[in-house]
Amino acid sequence: MTPDDPGRVAPKPGATIVLVVPVYNEDQGLCALRDRIVAVMDRIPYDWSCILVDDGSRDASWSVIESFVAADARFKGIMFSRNFGKEMALTAGVEAALGADAVICLDADLQHPPEIIPQLIAKWEEGYDIVATIREKVADYSLVKKIGSKTFYWFMCRFTDLDLPPNSTDFRLLDRKVMETLSKFTEGSRMFRGIIDWMGFKKTYIAFCAPARSQGKPAYPVKKLFNLAINSFTSFSLVPLRLAGYLGLIIMAVTLPLLCGMVLGNWFLAANITPIAFFTVFNTLLIGIVLCALGMMSLYIGHIHTEVANRPLYIIRSRAGAWDAPPVTAAPPRP
């Protein structure tokens, strides 16, 4: 990649790009990740650095990160006090990168190929504020994950106000203005890319094929993916609450004619329907309505509790590398 390619905007002198990589039990593949990042980033006409956020790993990931920092000043490390989740690791990395001209988020398992980065930068140079990626194919996705992914995006596209294309990923470039806006968001239950897509800004997409994991096991098993899907849906949509009301109306519309039919049959057709049958049908339907409504409301009440508690989004146990700002131990307080 050269700055004088046709159709390209010349890079800003002294512009900086920061890579943010969440890390959770990835010690086996970090060396390969570093080598591929360096090989790609050393060919771009920008100053760059890489922030590796250790999200409470239980293996030797932090020791590997410290070795990177000692060998190359362009690498920096953040270690959480425990596992706060990928969404918070991305948030911490972006907040630590404030002041850079752009940030690029990618996974540590090499399913987000660093070789795609020049394409992201090229679109950024064209004037886009957000350059996101879409997976065309995933080499090692199970049938359960494929079905779950399709279902999740179907619901998110139809029942929220997000512009969230199917198979979009966290592998994306964010301009400085997007980073600064993102730092103002305070919710604890968050979907990182959902918030970014909600912002708007000038955005484009690049498609890529995700290879199989280089090493280790997936950091996001089905259970975590399911919990993320539920939190994401309830964070951006009021449809579940409305569905409870719609369900109540539907059940009432079905129950009332049924009960009327039972009464008329008992009176005029000698159907001999017992009182306990009336009570059972009516009571069962009422219990179903109440349980459904309470279940949906509890999801939103849980989100309200999380926000009212006003806890830090994450807690930093340690840092590695040269940081311009003094180290902090927690996320900035939320208003």
Q: Contact, 8 vs 122, CB < 8 A?
A: yes
pLDDT of amino acid 312: 74
Fold of 16-237+312-320: Spore Coat Polysaccharide Biosynthesis Protein SpsA; Chain A (3.90.550)
- DSSP 8-class letter at 333: P
- Averaged pLDDT for residues 311-334: 65
Q: 85 — alpha (psi -120 to 50), left (phi > 0) or beta?
A: left
Domain chopping of the chain, boundaries? 16-237+312-320, 239-309
pTM score: 0.68
Inform me whether the pLDDT recorded for 328 exceeds 60: no
Name the E strands within 86-194.
102-105, 130-138, 168-175
Q: Contact, 311 vs 66, CB < 8 A?
A: no
Distance CA 267, CA 255 (A): 18
Q: Which residues contact 27 (CB under 8 A, 6 or more apart)?
A: 57, 59, 60, 61, 63, 64
Kindly report, residue by residue over 153-165, the tens digit of the pLDDT.
656 566 556 666 7
Percent of the chain with pLDDT over 70: 61
Inform me whether the pLDDT recorded for 273 exceeds 90: no
Q: Give the pLDDT band (50/70/90) at residue 143.
A: low
Q: Give the pLDDT band (50/70/90) at residue 87.
A: confident
Kindly report, residue by residue over 49-79, the tens digit of the pLDDT.
999 999 888 888 999 999 999 999 999 999 9
**How is residue 268 written in tokens?**
């005029």
Q: Contact, 170 vs 105, CB < 8 A?
A: yes
**Between the ranges 186-190, 200-204, 281-285, 295-299, where is the mean pLDDT highest?**
200-204
Q: Which of 144-153, 159-168, 198-207, 225-234 has the lowest average pLDDT?
A: 225-234
- DSSP 8-class letter at 315: B
- Averaged pLDDT for residues 248-271: 72
**What stretches of 186-322 show up as alpha helix (H) in DSSP?**
192-199, 222-236, 239-268, 275-309
Kindly report, residue by residue over 3-50, the tens digit of the pLDDT.
444 444 445 667 899 999 999 888 888 999 999 999 999 998 899 999
pLDDT of amino acid 4: 43
Q: Which residues contact 134 (CB under 8 A, 6 or more apart)?
A: 165, 166, 167, 168, 169, 205, 206, 207, 208
- Averaged pLDDT for residues 282-302: 69
Name the E strands within the chain.
16-23, 47-54, 75-80, 102-105, 130-138, 168-175, 203-210, 316-320
- Averaged pLDDT for residues 116-140: 84
Percent of the chain with pLDDT over 90: 21
Inform me whether the pLDDT recorded for 333 exceeds 60: no
